[in-house]
Amino acid sequence: MINPVRIRTLENTDAGALLAFELVNRAWFERHIDARAPAFYSLPGVVDHIASYLNEFDAGTWHPFVIESVGGGIVGRANLKTIDMTNRSAEIGYRIAESACGQGFATLAVKHLVQEARARWKLGQLVAYVDAQNAGSVKVLERYGFVDENNTRRGSDVDDYRFSLRI
């Protein structure tokens, strides 16, 4: 059972909590996604990261979210990335704390991203890239209606599969 959570747009005031979340889960994330630059893992690095994401949010090309457990801090992140209003499409991405995996947070993140893409951004298609070894994320995307595009890989040496959803 999921504890009560809220998903909200990332804010400048999230820097300390976000740094703590990223540090605690760094090794976990790096097993599934590309490693961040070492400079990211400092308060100035996270402040710059947030400022960049919020600039892209203001430009209408990115919508960053944090997932918070009630009274417990950040347990995940979710993003609408590379929002393309001309093609009415975007990429989604999310990361859930290792300690919170298997509790439905990824499913809630995907549900929230689809709702925001539809209601706020008026998008018609979402795509997600998933490491072929990340069976949990594949299952979450398929549960929400994303379709594996015939094991289409992103790049010749990257073991990511592309999933898409028409909304």
pLDDT digits (tens, 9 = 90+) for 96-139: 999 998 899 999 999 999 999 999 999 999 999 988 778 888 99
- State the pLDDT confidence band at 150, using cuts at 50, 70 and 90: low
Rounded Cα distance, 56 and 73, in Å = 24
- Say if residues 66 and 100 touch (Cβ distance below 8 Å): no
CATH topology of domain 5-166: Aminopeptidase (3.40.630)
Q: What is the mean pLDDT of the chain?
A: 91
Q: What is the mean pLDDT of residues 43-69?
A: 97
- What pLDDT sits at residue 1? 45
The CA distances from residue 54 to 46, 58, 63, 65, in Å, are 12, 6, 8, 10
Handedness of CA 22, 2, 12, 111 (dihedral sign): positive
